[in-house]
Structure 1
Amino acid sequence: MSQPSALQDLVIVDFSRVLAGPLATMVLADLGAEVVKVERPGVGDDTRHWGPPFDERGEATYFQSVNRNKDSVAIDLGTDAGRDEARALIARADVVVENFRPGLMASLGLDYKSLAGDKPELVYCSVTGFGGSGAGAALPGYDLLVQAVGGLMAITGAPDGEPQKAGVALVDVITGLFAAVGILAALRHRERTGEGQLVEVDLLSSLLAALVNQGSAYTLAGAVAGRMGNAHPSIAPYELYPTGDGDLVLAVGNDKQFAALCAVIGLEPDARFATNKERVAHRDALRDVLVQRLAARPAAEWVPALSAARVPAGQVNDVAGAFAFATSLGLDPVVEVPRADGSTARLTRNPINMSATPPAYRTAPPDLPST
């Protein structure tokens, strides 16, 4: 007997491509939703061709990162027959997700306004780069572009270096998660009222919301952050430090942790470092003292000593090391998902744990249907 799922019987028609939309629908698919991915005949999602790297079957690993637990259909939306086929799918769906350029779905008669008259219970999620209307509607929504214009690159990187992007398409990931939350909230509203609604999420607004403390520093205090390398604007010590061999991250968030750090490294009390406020005010002096003390031992020795004293500390892992570290902690970061040909795809597991209706991994990302 199969385990129940949180979103069983929920049907989603997914017209989205690349990352934000597909991530949102995969999260919901992991939780039990039936997701039908609509792709262009012969071409499919753009990320099917984004590589290297490719897996042992020659499939792009990018596409596989956000498309498990989905079925795929190839539909030419530029034809009357294709649009009729799409409407037939939507007729049995609870949710539609799309991230085409604003106005395209309306031109096909597949936008929320066109569909809601016949299906008022429909939840329809549109993901855009800079909003579905207004001056931003015509702008292309690429993650790197949004990281630049949205302020993230201005606060990422060394103070004397060039602005830097994050190492993954972080804005797309954040937007996809906001989209999933919006869809679930709309479904809860529908449970109470029977009414569907339009959910709109854009990359720029998602990034601005994700700036959190850096955003509120500006909105509340007019403080415009700059690049600080690995340092934190409001906490110290909270950055990367050299040691006798290798680099060490310290993430000291309160005075108790700082006292424990001092005990481990043999640092005597100093009025300049008594409170976090004082440590931030004297961060350069504090760094000099810590660098001198940490030079006595390699990072590999400092980490266990500091961790034993409950001081947040660690070395910088590469991606392989990160998965190995999670495995050593019993977090089981990799799942093996069955493919139709009998092989398995090793994918990163959904991070949500649920006692009654946990995520499930039913199928690997689908092959592109033949036309």
Structure 2
Amino acid sequence: MPQPDRILLVISILEGRNFPSQSSCQLTVDAKFDGEILTTDPVEFTSTPDINQELAWELDKKTFQLHKLQRSVIKCNAYSTTSTGQRENLGYFIIDIRPLNTSQKIRWYHLLQTKYPKLKPEFSICAYIEDDQTTRSGGGSTTSKISKTPSNTGISSTTTTATTSTRSKHLQPILLEDKGYYQLGSDVPSAEIFSLSITIRSAQNLTYLISSSINLNTQVGYFFDYKLFDNKIKTEIFHNLIQPEFYPERASVRIRSSIQLLRSYLETYHPIEFNLWSENNIIGQTHIPLHKIFKPLQQKSGMDKTFDVLTETYNLRIISLNENENEKLQTIEDEDSQPIVKVEITLARETSINKQKSKNDKQQRKRSNSANTNPSSNTTIVEHENR
């Protein structure tokens, strides 16, 4: 988070297009500003490389104004790297910092002096400024101090902070209870409110997770639990492990953010641990791939492409935490006999949600979630859908 007299100069390198596909190579981008070079993490070198990473420099406002007067630029070089570590320059593009401000606008930059002149490869870039008025309230980046020597810009020696190459990995949503949502990143003009929900639809073949010696006719209760934005969600108890019957249960949170930052954050989100409990014991486990929710947009030309609702459904295989039972599961070749839970992930713009609610004829009943780490908060809602 920049101090009151400092700003963050941010470039979001979103994606590329018109590249040759080179499955044996990885792609990186180096960005150089005022003598400091930041590098993206390697990504797969495809015809439309999905980079989706941020690089940023922190400096004081006076120094930034001097850079503008001296017409300083950010020079970005793209590189391919082979499995043997051989690095090849693919071309470069220049970002002029003079017109940059706090508004986030996306534009395409052609690679200059590229080795693929006929293809005309280019990158989608969002460059902007974060100052003390629009900063991330949660201190969203891990930084390392770099002592700088005078550069050829003529600016006197200063101390600058360079963020890690993927600032979104360290960014955390901030709960704003009075507003009923989580704030992710700066509250910039392009920010919108989204609803992120996880629905537990059904489950099958759960008996394979327990020993055959256990009596299934007992009144032992079973339930699932997981965490969504640090809120612990616990489903209602069901008793029939042979034919599990429960209302499809949805947990949702509201998030205010820009599309670019929300995508960058969710795509680096670790899969959510999802457990099946029998009383006080975990008998099965899987992971919800929240990071894949933006997969339908990966083939589109631009992260600023709008959407109303993104929905992905997964049949997740549950593994037993009992080593003996898990060995038995490995012997089951029929996929239809594997222990499965059906999970649906939905990300929707709030405007589309409001439209859908007005047309929705389903009756839903809400219940309070005693397992929620913040029961009084209206930012996490658990609902049941009638069958």
| TM-score where L is the length of structure 2 | 0.25
> Would you tell me which structure has more strand in proportion to its own residues?
2
When you count helix as a share of all residues, which structure comes out higher? 1
**Superposition TM-score, scaled by structure 1 size:** 0.26
Relative contact order higher in (CA < 8 Å, ≥ 6 apart): 1
